[in-house]
Chain A
Amino acid sequence: MVELNKENFDAEVLQADGLVFVDFWSPKCEPCMALLPEVEAFAEKNEGKAKFCKLDTAGNKRLAIAQKVMGIPTFVFYKDGEKIEVFDKEAINEGGIAAVEAKLNELA
């Protein structure tokens, strides 16, 4: 997965063509850490369908807030730089990674 930060966010996400998946997480967030192995497996399995990225919000707070993310874990799909789908913590808990995968297949 591509590690995002202030320097590369614009190029990797906002100016990128096609589908981009971003996992907003932080090492302090237990639920995020619990999810991380699953998210990584999901990214590996679906390689090619989208660009898979993660953003550690701990050092990139302003960047996350600019993306209207103020709670984690949050997954966001971007298409051609536009935010098109958001999974907040509740949505992730409800459907699990399976629901995120279904959405990916629908968007890809």
Chain B
Amino acid sequence: MSEVYDILVVGGGPGGLAAGIYGSRARLKTSIVEKGRPGGQAASTMEMENYPGTFRESTGPGIMKNFTEHAEHFGTEIFKGTVSDVDFTGPIKKVTTKDGETYEAKSVILSPGAEPRSLNIKGEGKLRGKGVSYCATCDADFFEDLDVIVIGNGDAAIEEAMYLTRFAESVTVIVIHDEGTLDCNKASSEKAFKNAKLKWIWNSTLEEIVGDELVEKVVLKNIKTGELTEMETNGVFFFVGTVPKTDFLKGKIELNEQGYIITNDLMETNVPGVYGVGDARVKYLRQVVTAAADGAIAAVAAEKYLDEMESFRENVLDKKEPVLLAFWAPQVEACFDVLANLEKKVEEKGGKLSLAKLDTYRNKKTSGSYNVTKVPTVILFKDGEPVDRLEGAEAITPDAVEAMVKKVL
């Protein structure tokens, strides 16, 4: 517990595991807190043919097992726990689990994932686990020789519907669109239309699920005519998208209206040192391959962040003597003269003053946290605190610098 990790990953799906691999290979102390078994949603998706390099006899659980072994091989520690609270206010971030375990880290990569959306249709809640299901691999066995319906027509819905045809007598897909139109990828839809065990009901939505102790029938609504029809079935599988599991992050980092984590291209959230990856992030495509890419980017961004923090502490905050911190940029020519003058000044003071240089382009975070808007800017630090500053090349004259440092020497 007293251990402070360099990178702590919340959630062990493909995004979190990829972050683990990249973090550990960068020789950073990296750990993952995962609520169950690593692998995320992908671990309960049997059919997976789109993860590059793995199409032969590959399955979701199989690929995720490889991800996990890969991360552990390079030294990622995986702990079991459901994260229920986070504290990102200090430089050392804290993550607490439901069981009261607290982990500390210098940077955090959030990979909480998403879970199947429920539509809250009449009968859905009551018949959950009694014929209503959101996981084909979990429950397909029960429906051997029985009839089921599938709600949804995206990638997951069509791929899982095809998986279900291996078990069920018939699988009827309820599609809201006109005949022949599916939201899934073309390879899947071509395959699905050739599958004789798949049946289709177009222009329709699910209105109600009926059953006493188990699912007995459903009521469907034709959205063109408004007509309601009853259909007997034993099972209803929902694949109508997902919702991010980010409730524990509300008020801690910036989320969008639907609860997805907002990040930039570096996977940075609005809190320095905190990153968001995978399905819980605002993004265009939620797949194993994009989650893994997110994880790699976040781990590398975290590595750079840790370097920046480390060198800043060493060269500025922990120095015994006062420090002149110069914010510069290679493309601003005026900086070179200023830096040369500052070097001369520090030399004059013979060890009573030191100089640190910060390339504002490569260290945007530190520049931002000291509100540096002009380049060059020089800030005088004493005992880790900024005490005075000069902004702009015209202001940073040898005399002005002398007057500023005199106050602390």
Known contacts A88-B129, A98-B98; decide if A72 and B214 are in contact (CB<8 Å).
no
From B35, B141, B215, give the contact of A57 (CB < 8 A): B141
Contact B135 A29 (CB under 8 A): yes
Contact A58 B138 (CB under 8 A): no
Q: How far is the CA of A85 from the CA of B284 in the complex (A)?
A: 42
Q: Mark B62-75, 1 if CB is under 8 A from A, else 0.
A: 00000000000000
Contact A72 B139 (CB under 8 A): yes
> A67 CB to closest chain B CB, in angstroms?
10
Known contacts A71-B128, A74-B129; decide if A61 and B138 are in contact (CB<8 Å).
no
Within 8 A of A (CB), among B43-92: 43-44, 61, 82
- A28 to B, closest residue via Cβ: B137
Known contacts A30-B39, A96-B82, A96-B98; decide if A70 and B138 are in contact (CB<8 Å).
no
Contact B138 A90 (CB under 8 A): no
Contact A28 B37 (CB under 8 A): no
Task: List the A side residues contacting B132 at CB < 8 Å.
Answer: 71
Contact A28 B138 (CB under 8 A): yes
Report the tally of A-B residue pairs with Cβ distances under 8 A: 81
> A26 CB to closest chain B CB, in angstroms?
7
Within 8 A of A (CB), among B165-179: none
Interface residue tally for chain A (C-beta within 8 Å): 27
From A30, A64, A96, give the contact of B142 (CB < 8 A): A64
Stretch in contact with the other chain, from A4-12, A32-40, A43-51:
A32-40
Q: How far is the CA of A89 from the CA of B138 in the complex (A)?
A: 11
Task: List the A side residues contacting B36 at CB < 8 Å.
Answer: 30-31, 34-35
Contact A71 B131 (CB under 8 A): yes
**B235 within 8 Å of A (CB atoms):** yes
Q: How far is the CA of A72 from the CA of B43 in the complex (A)?
A: 15
Residue pairs across A and B with Cβ atoms less than 8 A apart, 26 shown, are A28-B137, A28-B138, A29-B137, A29-B138, A30-B39, A30-B43, A30-B138, A31-B44, A31-B135, A31-B138, A32-B138, A34-B36, A34-B37, A57-B142, A58-B141, A61-B142, A68-B213, A69-B129, A70-B131, A70-B234, A70-B235, A71-B129, A71-B131, A89-B135, A89-B138, A90-B128
Q: Given A29-B139, A30-B43, A68-B130, list of 14 further CB < 8 A pairs?
A: A26-B141, A29-B138, A30-B138, A31-B36, A33-B37, A64-B142, A65-B214, A69-B129, A70-B139, A70-B214, A71-B130, A71-B132, A71-B133, A88-B128
